[in-house]
Amino acid sequence: MDQSADYITKEKRKALEMELEDLKGPKRKEILAGLEYAKSLGDLSENAEYHQIREDQGKLEARIVHIEQILQSSQTVAKGGGDIVEIGSTVVVQKASDKENITYTIVGSEEADMAKGKISNKSPFGEALFGKKKGSNVSFKTPKGVVNYKIISVS
């Protein structure tokens, strides 16, 4: 698995496809209806509602383009498995200075969410873990210095 490529899970792909369908369908129709109403109010140069709906339309179209780009350029992966850390792997690690185990899932950068324990394969920690096996020691630089972890399990 190429660590430099962009990846998304099957679940994320499905969620993005559903969002895209909603944006291209009902949301676009809603924006167009809002534009028609704002135009009916008269002078467009001083029509705050018209300018707001045009701004909303720009954001909607930008989001559509962004999602289409993600879906086109990203490789879809299933949940990880095996004993080597890769995209989709769930990794239990232990910080060298603690005895507490922490569980992370390695995901593509589009899905990273530290609060949910999902770290990007392109983050310093994700890069350090990528390709390693259970029992390996990994370290990476942070602004506060080098941090060391031991991989307890990979699934």
CATH 1.10.287.180 domain extents, the chain: 7-76
Tell me the mean pLDDT in the region 119-146: 91
Report the pLDDT value the prediction gives residue 139, as an integer from 0 to 100: 92
The fold of 7-76 is Helix Hairpins (1.10.287)
Report the pLDDT value the prediction gives residue 1, as an integer from 0 to 100: 61
Report the pLDDT value the prediction gives residue 65, as an integer from 0 to 100: 97
List, for residues 58-110, the tens digit of each pLDDT value: 999 999 999 999 999 998 887 766 788 988 889 999 988 888 899 999 998 88
CATH 3.10.50.30 domain extents, the chain: 79-154
Distance CA 36, CA 53 (A): 10
- Does the domain made of 79-154 have the CATH classification 3.10.50.30? yes
CB 80 within 8 A of CB 92: no
pLDDT > 80? residue 3: no
State the pTM of this model. 0.75
Pairing of strands 145-154, 118-120: unpaired
Which region among 2-11, 101-110, 119-128, 140-149 has the lowest average model confidence (pLDDT)? Answer: 2-11
Phi, psi of 74 (to 5 degrees): -95, 145
Residues 6+ apart with CB under 8 A from 126: 106, 119, 120
Report the pLDDT value the prediction gives residue 4, as an integer from 0 to 100: 63
